[in-house]
């Protein structure tokens, strides 16, 4: 599926997602999944695999988008998807930062900040839900997911240890 149309679609879709997503990649996951489904670029299980790989790799979590782009249209797709997801939001952030401090005492600024927090949390939870549904195929998988959420929220244990535990359980056949 590495035709020119796919590359253009990657660029357009991820550029739009870039300026509409709040709270980073985690909050964009539900919409990324919707775009993938819309264009039939991959199934949910493949996306869950790429998501896990993207978060396990060192570097920014936007690498998930690079992997999606690579899956859809090779190296050019990876570059276009990454640039599409990064450049518009970076330019918008530079613009907002240049004026945001001028209004630090404005009531509307506090209202916007207070309103964006629950939206961001909700979008991040929705992304986690979609990845869980795509990746966990048994009660053991769901239990491990819930345990991971609990441990991450209540302790200072690195999520990488939990990812390694999940990998070991998967390789051992306990999560099938």
73 CB-near residues (< 8 Å, 6+ apart): 1, 2, 3, 6, 7, 10, 80
90 CB-near residues (< 8 Å, 6+ apart): none
pTM of the model: 0.68
According to the model, what pLDDT value does residue 176 have?
65
According to the model, what pLDDT value does residue 1 have?
46
According to the model, what pLDDT value does residue 77 have?
96
Q: Give 10-residue mean pLDDT values along the chain (176 residues).
A: 80 92 77 92 92 82 91 96 93 87 86 87 83 80 86 89 84 78
According to the model, what pLDDT value does residue 83 have?
96
């Amino acid at each position: 599926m590495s035709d020119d149309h796919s590359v253009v679609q990657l660029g357009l879709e991820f550029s739009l997602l870039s300026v509409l997503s709040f709270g980073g990649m985690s909050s964009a996951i539900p919409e990324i999944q919707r775009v993938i489904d819309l264009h039939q670029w991959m199934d949910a299980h493949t996306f869950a695999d790429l998501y896990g790989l993207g978060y396990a790799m060192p570097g920014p979590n936007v690498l998930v988008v690079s992997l999606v782009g690579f899956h859809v249209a090779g190296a050019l797709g990876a570059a276009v998807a990454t640039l599409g997801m990064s450049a518009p939001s970076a330019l918008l952030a530079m613009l907002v930062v240049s004026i945001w401090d001028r209004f630090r005492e404005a009531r509307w600024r506090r209202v916007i900040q207070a309103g964006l927090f629950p939206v961001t949390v909700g979008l991040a939870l929705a992304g986690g839900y979609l990845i869980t549904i795509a990746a966990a195929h048994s009660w053991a998988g769901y239990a491990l997911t819930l345990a991971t959420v609990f441990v991450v929220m209540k302790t200072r244990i690195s999520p990488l240890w939990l990812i390694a535990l999940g990998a070991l359980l998967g390789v051992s056949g306990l999560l099938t």
